[in-house]
Amino acid sequence: MNHKPVAVITGASRGIGRAISLSLASEGFDIAAIARTPDSECMLSLQPEVEKRGAAFFPIGLDIAHTALHDEAITSILEHYGRIDLLINNAGVAPVERKDVLELGEESYDRVTGINLRGPVFFAQRVAREMIWLRKQKEEYNPAIIFITSISAYMSSTNRLEYCVSKAGLSMAALVFADRLAEEKINVYEVRPGLIETDMTARVKDKFDKLISEGLIPQKRWGTPEDVAKAVASLARGDWEFSTGTVFEMSGGMNIKSL
């Protein structure tokens, strides 16, 4: 059985999830990488990068919205590694088409909230149950769960209500899990990225390049996936052991309300 800690990262193949996978591999975690397509070019290229950092790599195909398949995915991780020490609930999507709130359709709402909110909530529930059981079996076991949300948890976008609702809901889910799991000695954190330069934001890059140059972000730059990964690595190391339920925002100061 595995003696190294194991990190499970959803949405691991690209962007923030990929950066987190590499960062945690460097921190001494073996990696269980979840993506909808486990044999995609992105996932295939991630494996050697993880292994180069001295970590084992186990790819899993799962659409997080399909809650009926959660048990199978988690069971396969436990059979392979024998433990789960850290869950990074990172998987998320943007609307296929941005539409004004008055034109929003139910299909888009259900798709985005299913992947961004409903799926992660029930996946975290299932992993938390395993962590509670594992805590009774293992010494030196310090599990944690991290929810990756967004500044859209509190900032309105009138053309993507479904995304804002999903991230606001996930933010509250992180708080409730932190509250409930504190008695189980499982810390839960929320990591809240701002404008991060990824595939998801590529189609609005020109718009936000202009807004950033005009002062939208006090630190005057896009965030990077590595900015988020550094925060996750710090939490994973236990640097914030007495801070369960805390929100860690990587937004370059967009949280500052300034006159």
- 1 falls within a domain: no
- 256 falls within a domain: no
In degrees and rounded to multiples of 5, residue 189 shows phi and psi of -130, 155
With a cut of 50, which residues of the chain have pLDDT below it? none
Quote the CA–CA distance of 127 and 53 in Å, as a whole number: 26
Compute CA distances 116 → 107, 147, 241, whole Å.
14, 10, 26
Q: What is the number of domains present in the chain? A: 1
Instruction: State the amino acid at position 254 in one-letter form.
Output: M
- 54 falls within a domain: yes
pLDDT of residue 41: 93
CATH number at residue 230: 3.40.50.720
Residue bearing tokens 């789960």: 84
| Residues 214-229 pLDDT 10s | 999 999 999 999 999 9
- 133 falls within a domain: yes
pLDDT of residue 201: 80
| Residues 163-192 pLDDT 10s | 999 999 999 999 999 999 999 999 999 999
Which domain covers residue 199, as residue numbers? 6-250
User: Angle between the 161-181 and 119-137 helix axes, to the nearest 10 degrees?
Assistant: 20
Residue bearing tokens 């390049």: 209
The conformational region for residue 21 under phi > 0 = left, psi -120 to 50 = alpha, else beta, is alpha
pLDDT of residue 1: 54
- 258 falls within a domain: no
pLDDT of residue 181: 98
Closest CA to 226 of 190, 193, 188, 201: 193
Question: Do residues 190 and 147 touch, judged by C-beta distance below 8 A?
Answer: yes
pLDDT of residue 144: 98
Token reading at 141: 């076991």
pTM of the model: 0.96
Quote the CA–CA distance of 134 and 143 in Å, as a whole number: 9
Largest CA distance in the chain: 57
pLDDT of residue 2: 64
- 200 falls within a domain: yes
Contacting residues for 82 by C-beta, under 8 A, at least 6 apart: 1, 2
